[in-house]
Structure 1
Amino acid sequence: MIGLDSQARIWLCTEPTDMRKSFRGLSALVRNQLKHDPLSGQYFVFVNRRKTQMKMLYFTATGYCLWAKRLEQGQFRVPLSASGQRALTLTDLQLLIDGIEVQKYRQFKRFRGV
Protein backbone atom coordinates (compact mmCIF):
# COMPACT_ATOMS: atom_id res chain seq x y z
CA MET A 1 0.00 0.00 0.00
CA ILE A 2 0.95 3.64 -0.17
CA GLY A 3 2.96 5.04 2.71
CA LEU A 4 0.18 6.88 4.55
CA ASP A 5 0.63 8.43 7.96
CA SER A 6 -1.63 6.85 10.59
CA GLN A 7 -2.82 10.36 11.50
CA ALA A 8 -3.78 11.22 7.91
CA ARG A 9 -7.30 12.51 7.30
CA ILE A 10 -9.03 10.29 4.73
CA TRP A 11 -12.40 11.14 3.20
CA LEU A 12 -14.52 8.70 1.21
CA CYS A 13 -17.01 10.16 -1.27
CA THR A 14 -19.99 7.82 -0.87
CA GLU A 15 -21.70 8.99 -4.07
CA PRO A 16 -20.66 7.34 -7.37
CA THR A 17 -17.95 9.18 -9.28
CA ASP A 18 -17.12 9.28 -12.99
CA MET A 19 -13.76 7.51 -13.21
CA ARG A 20 -12.84 9.41 -16.39
CA LYS A 21 -12.05 12.37 -14.15
CA SER A 22 -8.42 13.04 -13.38
CA PHE A 23 -6.59 15.64 -11.26
CA ARG A 24 -8.66 18.69 -12.16
CA GLY A 25 -12.05 16.96 -12.20
CA LEU A 26 -11.52 15.19 -8.88
CA SER A 27 -10.09 18.29 -7.19
CA ALA A 28 -13.20 20.19 -8.36
CA LEU A 29 -15.37 17.46 -6.78
CA VAL A 30 -13.44 17.81 -3.53
CA ARG A 31 -13.93 21.57 -3.51
CA ASN A 32 -17.55 21.76 -4.70
CA GLN A 33 -19.19 18.53 -3.50
CA LEU A 34 -17.23 17.52 -0.41
CA LYS A 35 -16.52 21.15 0.63
CA HIS A 36 -12.85 20.51 1.46
CA ASP A 37 -9.63 22.08 0.25
CA PRO A 38 -7.91 19.65 -2.16
CA LEU A 39 -4.54 21.29 -1.36
CA SER A 40 -4.85 20.49 2.36
CA GLY A 41 -2.82 17.26 2.21
CA GLN A 42 -5.86 15.16 3.12
CA TYR A 43 -6.70 12.02 1.13
CA PHE A 44 -9.91 11.81 -0.93
CA VAL A 45 -11.24 8.43 -2.13
CA PHE A 46 -13.75 7.99 -4.96
CA VAL A 47 -15.54 4.86 -6.26
CA ASN A 48 -17.50 4.42 -9.50
CA ARG A 49 -21.17 3.45 -9.79
CA ARG A 50 -20.44 -0.26 -10.39
CA LYS A 51 -18.03 -0.21 -7.40
CA THR A 52 -15.28 -1.85 -9.43
CA GLN A 53 -12.89 1.12 -9.63
CA MET A 54 -11.38 3.35 -6.98
CA LYS A 55 -9.28 6.50 -7.17
CA MET A 56 -7.53 8.37 -4.38
CA LEU A 57 -6.42 11.98 -4.79
CA TYR A 58 -4.02 13.78 -2.48
CA PHE A 59 -1.64 16.71 -2.61
CA THR A 60 2.01 16.68 -1.60
CA ALA A 61 4.53 19.51 -1.50
CA THR A 62 5.42 18.88 -5.15
CA GLY A 63 1.92 18.39 -6.62
CA TYR A 64 -1.14 16.20 -6.92
CA CYS A 65 -0.93 12.40 -6.68
CA LEU A 66 -3.55 10.06 -8.06
CA TRP A 67 -3.74 6.40 -7.06
CA ALA A 68 -6.12 4.03 -8.85
CA LYS A 69 -7.30 0.43 -8.50
CA ARG A 70 -9.57 -1.61 -10.76
CA LEU A 71 -11.05 -4.90 -9.59
CA GLU A 72 -11.20 -7.81 -12.00
CA GLN A 73 -13.84 -9.53 -9.84
CA GLY A 74 -16.14 -8.39 -7.06
CA GLN A 75 -16.95 -4.93 -5.78
CA PHE A 76 -15.74 -2.45 -3.21
CA ARG A 77 -18.05 -2.32 -0.18
CA VAL A 78 -18.77 1.40 0.13
CA PRO A 79 -20.60 2.35 3.33
CA LEU A 80 -23.53 4.71 2.81
CA SER A 81 -23.68 8.18 4.29
CA ALA A 82 -26.43 10.79 4.13
CA SER A 83 -23.91 13.61 3.83
CA GLY A 84 -22.22 12.10 0.75
CA GLN A 85 -18.89 11.67 2.52
CA ARG A 86 -17.44 9.62 5.31
CA ALA A 87 -14.25 9.91 7.32
CA LEU A 88 -12.06 6.81 7.25
CA THR A 89 -9.15 5.65 9.33
CA LEU A 90 -6.10 4.12 7.71
CA THR A 91 -7.35 0.69 8.81
CA ASP A 92 -10.79 1.35 7.29
CA LEU A 93 -9.16 2.31 3.99
CA GLN A 94 -6.97 -0.79 3.96
CA LEU A 95 -9.99 -3.03 4.66
CA LEU A 96 -11.96 -1.29 1.88
CA ILE A 97 -9.11 -1.75 -0.61
CA ASP A 98 -8.61 -5.41 0.37
CA GLY A 99 -12.36 -6.16 0.17
CA ILE A 100 -12.78 -7.08 3.80
CA GLU A 101 -16.08 -6.21 5.47
CA VAL A 102 -16.14 -6.35 9.25
CA GLN A 103 -19.58 -7.42 10.46
CA LYS A 104 -18.88 -7.18 14.16
CA TYR A 105 -15.92 -5.34 15.61
CA ARG A 106 -14.75 -5.33 19.19
CA GLN A 107 -11.46 -3.93 20.35
CA PHE A 108 -10.20 -4.90 23.78
CA LYS A 109 -8.40 -2.54 26.12
CA ARG A 110 -4.65 -2.53 25.73
CA PHE A 111 -1.93 -1.10 27.90
CA ARG A 112 -0.41 2.05 26.42
CA GLY A 113 3.01 2.93 27.72
CA VAL A 114 4.19 6.50 28.06
Structure 2
Amino acid sequence: MECARSKCLMKAIYWDRTGFALWQKRLEREKFRWPIKLQDDIILVSAEQLEWLLAGLDIVKAKPHETLHFDDFT
Protein backbone atom coordinates (compact mmCIF):
# COMPACT_ATOMS: atom_id res chain seq x y z
CA MET A 1 0.00 0.00 0.00
CA GLU A 2 1.14 3.49 -0.59
CA CYS A 3 -0.43 6.86 -0.03
CA ALA A 4 0.20 10.07 -1.94
CA ARG A 5 1.79 13.00 -0.17
CA SER A 6 -1.57 14.81 -0.12
CA LYS A 7 -3.10 11.73 1.64
CA CYS A 8 -6.16 11.81 -0.62
CA LEU A 9 -4.89 9.04 -2.95
CA MET A 10 -4.11 5.44 -2.00
CA LYS A 11 -2.71 2.66 -4.20
CA ALA A 12 -2.43 -1.04 -3.50
CA ILE A 13 -0.74 -3.76 -5.52
CA TYR A 14 -1.75 -7.35 -4.92
CA TRP A 15 -1.47 -10.81 -6.44
CA ASP A 16 -4.76 -12.31 -7.70
CA ARG A 17 -3.56 -15.82 -8.72
CA THR A 18 -3.02 -14.86 -12.38
CA GLY A 19 -0.86 -11.78 -11.99
CA PHE A 20 -0.40 -8.55 -10.12
CA ALA A 21 -3.26 -6.07 -9.95
CA LEU A 22 -3.16 -2.38 -9.07
CA TRP A 23 -6.01 -0.77 -7.16
CA GLN A 24 -6.36 2.97 -6.58
CA LYS A 25 -8.78 5.15 -4.63
CA ARG A 26 -8.92 8.96 -4.52
CA LEU A 27 -10.99 10.75 -1.90
CA GLU A 28 -12.85 13.84 -3.04
CA ARG A 29 -13.03 15.72 0.28
CA GLU A 30 -11.34 13.82 3.09
CA LYS A 31 -7.84 12.44 3.62
CA PHE A 32 -6.72 8.95 4.55
CA ARG A 33 -5.49 8.67 8.13
CA TRP A 34 -2.13 7.30 7.04
CA PRO A 35 0.49 6.41 9.69
CA ILE A 36 3.17 8.99 10.41
CA LYS A 37 6.22 8.65 8.17
CA LEU A 38 7.78 5.22 8.61
CA GLN A 39 11.27 4.10 7.61
CA ASP A 40 9.84 2.70 4.36
CA ASP A 41 7.40 4.54 2.12
CA ILE A 42 5.45 1.31 1.58
CA ILE A 43 3.80 -0.58 4.44
CA LEU A 44 1.97 -3.89 4.63
CA VAL A 45 -1.49 -3.88 6.15
CA SER A 46 -3.88 -6.67 7.01
CA ALA A 47 -7.32 -6.95 5.42
CA GLU A 48 -8.79 -5.62 8.66
CA GLN A 49 -6.44 -2.62 8.67
CA LEU A 50 -7.34 -1.89 5.04
CA GLU A 51 -11.02 -1.79 6.02
CA TRP A 52 -10.13 0.60 8.84
CA LEU A 53 -8.20 2.90 6.47
CA LEU A 54 -11.04 2.95 3.97
CA ALA A 55 -13.48 3.75 6.79
CA GLY A 56 -11.35 6.73 7.84
CA LEU A 57 -9.79 5.21 10.97
CA ASP A 58 -6.18 5.55 12.11
CA ILE A 59 -4.72 2.02 11.88
CA VAL A 60 -2.08 2.77 14.52
CA LYS A 61 -4.60 3.93 17.15
CA ALA A 62 -7.44 1.56 16.23
CA LYS A 63 -6.82 -1.74 17.95
CA PRO A 64 -9.41 -4.48 18.31
CA HIS A 65 -10.16 -6.02 21.69
CA GLU A 66 -7.98 -8.97 22.62
CA THR A 67 -9.55 -12.32 21.82
CA LEU A 68 -10.20 -14.21 25.03
CA HIS A 69 -10.75 -17.91 25.46
CA PHE A 70 -12.81 -19.45 28.21
CA ASP A 71 -9.85 -21.29 29.77
CA ASP A 72 -7.98 -17.95 30.13
CA PHE A 73 -10.17 -17.16 33.15
CA THR A 74 -9.13 -20.18 35.26
More contact order relative to length (CA 8 Å, sep ≥ 6): 1
Equivalence for 1:48? 4
Q: How does 1:60-99 map to 2 (within 5 A)?
A: 60-84=16-40, 85-99=42-56
Rg (Cα) greater in structure: 2
Give the residue type in structure 2 aligned to 1:99.
Answer: G
Mapped to 1, the partners of 2:18 and 2:28 lie a distance apart of 32
- Identity across matched positions, percent: 28
- Kindly tell me: are residues 108 and 46 of structure 1, through their superposed partners in 2, closer, same or farther at Cα, counting changes over 3 Å? closer
Matched residues, number:
68
TM-score using structure 1 length: 0.48
Gaps of 5+ in 1: 1-44
Distance apart, 1:106 and its partner CA: 5.9
Structure 2: give runs of 5+ residues left out of the alignment.
none
Moved over 3 A (4+): 102-106
| RMSD over aligned Cα atoms | 2.4
